[in-house]
Amino acid sequence: MASSLEGVAVVTGGNKGVGLAIVRGLCKQFKGHVLLTARNEENGKSAVELLKTEGLNPIYEQLDILSNESIDKFKSRIEKNYGGIDILVNNAGIAYKRASTSPLIEKAHVTLQTNLFATLAVTNTLLPHMRNGSHICMVSSMTSKLKNVSQDKDHPVRQRLIDPSLTEEGVLSLMREYLIAVDNNDYSIWPKDSPYSLSKVAITAVTRAIGRKLANDPRGIIINACCPGYVDTDMTSHRGVLTPDQGAVTPLMMCFIPSKGSNGEFYMEEKMYDWLNSD
């Protein structure tokens, strides 16, 4: 069992792609236990073995972000074996391939469920265990830019997303409205066929809302969202131009932002991006 005084970093979807590269980077940069979590035990353990051949020493932990039972068991192991978390990287995510012939209703529900609702279930379950001065990195995407909702800056959905009083629940209810619209084949105010972009718009917006909420939390927890860039992984069918290690650079930066640094912001290419005002 680990001493509760030792640092603990957690990465979701750590078995491959950007997540595996973030685990690698944390093993090199973070003094403490690095938990490589994955939903599939075999894939998670092989990823740990791969990193061991590089002289690194992550620990495998099972975590399927779509399973409340898996999240609860993971939380119990954190309480019992580690005592708390210093870094949480919400990296796990999915994207249907462009060529996918799945119905849009399925794509929208499954994508939002994983990339938004499950990601927040993990965050909120683990939040009570985040230690003083800890960091949360939300792996979002450049597709979270507001122009992907609408080019019109006065568009009602854009207006709700940039509302400075928008709460986490407000973002979730907006995205539930989107899912109802998809169920009803009603695209009067929603873009068609871009559930992945909308899931990431919601992640960037919800990061802002959580950042505002955490400003009143005495633990000084810092949360920021980021885009890893266009990375050569299974998700991009290996078309991305960055290596996974290059894609991990900005997410890793989010794990070490100084305590008086940004909160609730969105970063790309290692720089803060003015998500509210840019297109």
Ligand X SMILES: NC(=O)c1ccc[n+]([C@@H]2O[C@H](COP(=O)([O-])OP(=O)(O)OC[C@H]3O[C@@H](n4cnc5c(N)ncnc54)[C@H](OP(=O)(O)O)[C@@H]3O)[C@@H](O)[C@H]2O)c1
φ, ψ for residue 87, nearest 5 deg: -140, 130
Q: Is residue 240 near ligand X by the rule CB under 6 A?
A: yes
> Given the rule CB under 6 A, which of 152-160, 185-193, 230-238, 263-271 is the region that contacts ligand X?
230-238
Q: Is residue 125 near ligand X by the rule CB under 6 A?
A: no
φ, ψ for residue 113, nearest 5 deg: -60, -45
Contacts with 49 (C-beta within 8 Å, 6 or more apart), sequence order = none
> In the bound complex, what is the minimum distance in angstroms from residue 95's beta carbon to ligand X?
6
Residues that contact ligand X, how many (by CB under 6 A): 31
Which member of 60, 178, 196, 267 is catalytic?
Answer: 196
Element (H, E) at 202: helix 195-214
Please, what's the b/e burial string for 142-173 (b: 16 or more CB within 10 A of its CB; e: otherwise)? bbbbbebbbeeeeeebbebbeeeebebebbbe
- In angstroms, what CA-CA distances link 278 with 96, 145, 153? 27, 8, 10
Is 196 annotated as catalytic? yes
Cα separation of the two ends of the chain: 48
> In the bound complex, what is the minimum distance in angstroms from residue 26's beta carbon to ligand X?
15
In angstroms, the CA 100 to CA 102 distance is: 6
Q: Is residue 96 near ligand X by the rule CB under 6 A?
A: no
> In the bound complex, what is the minimum distance in angstroms from residue 266's beta carbon to ligand X?
12
> Given the rule CB under 6 A, which of 62-70, 125-133, 169-177, 183-191 is the region that contacts ligand X?
62-70
Query: CB atoms < 10 A from the CB of 55, how many?
Result: 8
The helix/strand/coil state of 218 is coil
Element (H, E) at 38: strand 33-38
Binding-site member from 17, 25, 84, 211 for ligand X (CB under 6 A): 17
Q: Is residue 58 near ligand X by the rule CB under 6 A?
A: no
Q: Provide the β-strand partners of residue 268.
A: 227, 271
Q: Is residue 252 near ligand X by the rule CB under 6 A?
A: no
Q: Is residue 114 near ligand X by the rule CB under 6 A?
A: yes
> Given the rule CB under 6 A, which of 9-17, 127-135, 163-171, 182-190 is the region that contacts ligand X?
9-17
Nearer to ligand X, 95 or 198 (CB): 95
> In the bound complex, what is the minimum distance in angstroms from residue 218's beta carbon to ligand X?
30
**By the 8 A CB rule, do 48 and 25 touch?**
no
Q: Is residue 19 near ligand X by the rule CB under 6 A?
A: yes
Nearer to ligand X, 260 or 271 (CB): 271
Q: Is residue 134 near ligand X by the rule CB under 6 A?
A: no
Q: Is residue 16 near ligand X by the rule CB under 6 A?
A: yes
> In the bound complex, what is the minimum distance in angstroms from residue 136's beta carbon to ligand X?
14
State the residues that interact with ligand X by CB under 6 A: 12-13, 15-19, 38-40, 43, 64-66, 91-95, 114, 139, 141, 227-228, 230-231, 233-236, 240
